[in-house]
Amino acid sequence: MSFAPTSITMADAADVLPKGMEAVVQGATTIDLSGLTHFDSSAVSTLLAWQRAAIEKGLSLEVVGLPDGLRSLAKLYGVDALL
């Protein structure tokens, strides 16, 4: 089972975060970001929240299709290894 958001920005993170959390609760093990067209630094914290939720549920959450720009932001914040 996977979850595939297309936008994670400050403007929509409040809507996307709970959708991803629900997907994790339902057993999603993959976050597919290959269709992510809009993102900002809030995407990093959103991804980390989903990772924490998966860990709490005893799941391993794989992030695939991470855009280069988002990978750079995660590296800048020192959390790239967590994603």
Q: What are phi and psi of 25, to 5 degrees?
A: -60, -35
Asked if 45 contacts 15 with a C-beta cutoff of 8 angstroms, the reply is no
Residues forming a β-bridge with 31:
3, 63
- What is the residue range of 20's domain? 2-82
CATH number at residue 18: 3.30.750.24
Q: Both tokens of residue 8?
A: 């994670």
Mean pLDDT, residues 10-33: 95
Quote the percentage of the chain above a pLDDT of 90: 95
CA distance 51 to 58: 10
Whether the per-residue pLDDT at 1 is higher than 80: the answer is: no
- Stretch 49-54: mean pLDDT, rounded? 95
CA distance 76 to 31: 21
What is the pLDDT, as a whole number, of residue 49? Answer: 96
Q: Which of 5, 25, 31, 3 is nearest to 16 (CA)?
A: 5
* Whole-angstrom distance, CA of residue 77 vs CA of residue 41: 9
Q: Based on the structure, what is the number of domains in the chain?
A: 1
